[in-house]
């Protein structure tokens, strides 16, 4: 398997972890009323400290502006906006609005000449967007699960802008320093930036009084830290070494497939025909992307 396909596979796995962590975060908010800012602080800061021990990255050098901006507005900002959209609407609405980052990234890279637009690219993007709409919300009618609130929409659009920003801004840093270097320092700096607010919200939070409730809460938080933060972001950013930001964004559209599968397996949620169609469209878009990379590697 060539390096481009390995990068694509890693991105797909990372996106799957994102899908699972979104479901876990919604459970934390709805079942345990866990504060959003506290979760962002805990997941970023703890993830960063763990990676500091494991990765042992070199210290950031000058200029610090790109790293600070990416850490605060990209890593921390995207999580605050996405989790805020979940809290004020639901995971379906948050996921759908967040994926508006894909046409933003594609349009930027097309203007910059990073990739040449083609019929295949148009088909891939359309299938990914329509597939996400069908898979996340079904179709208009009794099964439509999109919950639209003004605050939820604002947070969802902010998540899309922040997602486009950190995807595009990460690429030069990843290629210069490596994915785990930027992931580690991004989490540490982003976590420290939100610590004053997250600390206050956590101190005012009332933990579950029984052991089963406390165990469930701790288990969900650990899952979000390990799989939804460290592995999800690390694998996602690793793909930027050999793939464009648009290709990475397109591959990450597999996230709602994993989320829907988790809802079916763990929660017994029955998928509609429209949702199966949406999943098929996303898979087809990823297959077209993968076949394009194989053709490019063959020609080179």
pLDDT over 70 (residue 134): yes
The DSSP annotation for 241-260 comes to: GTS-HHHHHHHGGGHHHHHH
Which of 109-123, 177-191, 283-297 shows the lowest mean pLDDT across its residues?
283-297
pLDDT tens-digit series, residues 19-55:
788 778 878 988 899 999 999 999 999 999 999 999 9
The pLDDT assigned to 153 comes to: 84
pLDDT tens-digit series, residues 223-235:
999 999 999 888 8
End-to-end Cα separation, the chain, in angstroms: 15
Token digits of residue 5: 């396909």
Cβ count near 9 (within 10 Å): 15
**Model confidence band, residue 140 (pLDDT cutoffs 50, 70, 90):** very low
Token digits of residue 50: 């763990």
The angle that helices 3-32 and 273-299 make with each other, rounded to 10 degrees, is: 150
**Model confidence band, residue 291 (pLDDT cutoffs 50, 70, 90):** low
Which of 75-79, 102-106, 212-216, 225-229 shows the lowest mean pLDDT across its residues?
102-106
Mean pLDDT of 263-267: 65
Q: Domain count of the chain?
A: 1
**Model confidence band, residue 297 (pLDDT cutoffs 50, 70, 90):** very low
- Contact (CB, 8 A) for 85 and 146: no
Residue whose tokens read 């481009």 = 4
The pLDDT assigned to 218 comes to: 95
pLDDT over 80 (residue 117): no
**Model confidence band, residue 139 (pLDDT cutoffs 50, 70, 90):** very low
Q: What are phi and psi of 91, to 5 degrees?
A: -65, -35
**Model confidence band, residue 300 (pLDDT cutoffs 50, 70, 90):** very low
The pLDDT assigned to 233 comes to: 87
Token digits of residue 91: 């995971």
Mean pLDDT of 177-199: 93
Overall pTM > 0.85 = no
pLDDT over 60 (residue 211): yes
The pLDDT assigned to 141 comes to: 46
Question: Long-range CB contacts (< 8 A, 24+ apart) of 294-298?
Answer: 294/2, 294/5, 296/4, 297/2, 297/4, 297/5
CA distances in angstroms from 292 to 121, 131, 246, 285, listed in the order given:
10, 20, 13, 11
Residues 6+ apart with CB under 8 A from 283: 254, 257
Range of the domain at 22: 3-299
The pLDDT assigned to 299 comes to: 45
Distance CA 219, CA 100 (A): 31
Mean pLDDT of 257-269: 68
The pLDDT assigned to 250 comes to: 76
CA distances in angstroms from 6 to 198, 204, 221, listed in the order given:
36, 44, 29
pLDDT over 70 (residue 142): no
The DSSP annotation for 21-38 comes to: HHHHHHHHHHHH---HHH
Which of 69-78, 139-148, 150-159, 265-274 shows the lowest mean pLDDT across its residues?
139-148
pLDDT tens-digit series, residues 60-93:
987 889 999 999 999 899 889 988 888 887 766 7
Q: Average model confidence (pLDDT) for the chain?
A: 82
Residue whose tokens read 């490596």 = 178
pLDDT over 50 (residue 298): no
pLDDT over 90 (residue 96): no
Residues 6+ apart with CB under 8 A from 114: 244, 245, 246
């Amino acid at each position: 398997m060539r390096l481009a396909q390995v990068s694509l596979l890693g991105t797909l796995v990372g996106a799957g972890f994102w899908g699972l962590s979104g479901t876990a975060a919604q459970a934390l908010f709805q079942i345990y009323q866990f504060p959003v800012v506290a979760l962002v602080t805990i997941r970023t800061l703890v993830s960063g400290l763990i990676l500091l021990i494991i990765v042992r990255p070199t210290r950031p050098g000058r200029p610090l502006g790109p790293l600070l901006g990416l850490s605060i507005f990209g890593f921390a900002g995207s999580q605050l906006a996405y989790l805020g959209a979940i809290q004020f609407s639901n995971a379906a609405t948050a996921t759908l609005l967040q994926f508006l980052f894909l046409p933003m990234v594609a349009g930027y890279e097309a203007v910059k000449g990073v990739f040449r637009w083609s019929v295949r690219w148009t088909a891939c993007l359309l299938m990914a967007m329509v597939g996400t709409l069908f898979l996340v919300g079904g179709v208009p009618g009794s099964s439509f699960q999109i919950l639209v609130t003004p605050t939820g929409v604002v947070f969802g659009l902010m998540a899309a802008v922040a997602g486009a920003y950190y995807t595009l801004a990460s690429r030069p840093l990843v290629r210069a320093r490596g994915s785990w270097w930027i992931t580690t320092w991004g989490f540490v700096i982003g976590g420290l930036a939100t610590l004053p607010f997250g600390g206050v919200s956590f101190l005012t939070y009332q933990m579950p009084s029984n052991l089963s409730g406390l165990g469930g809460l701790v288990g969900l938080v650990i899952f979000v830290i390990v799989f939804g933060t460290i592995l999800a972001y690390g694998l996602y950013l690793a793909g930027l070494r050999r793939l464009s930001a648009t290709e990475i964004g397109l591959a990450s559209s597999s996230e709602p497939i994993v989320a829907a599968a988790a809802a079916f397996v763990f929660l017994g949620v029955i998928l509609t025909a429209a949702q199966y169609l949406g999943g098929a469209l996303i898979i087809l878009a990823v297959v077209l992307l993968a076949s394009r990379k194989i053709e490019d590697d063959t020609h080179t």
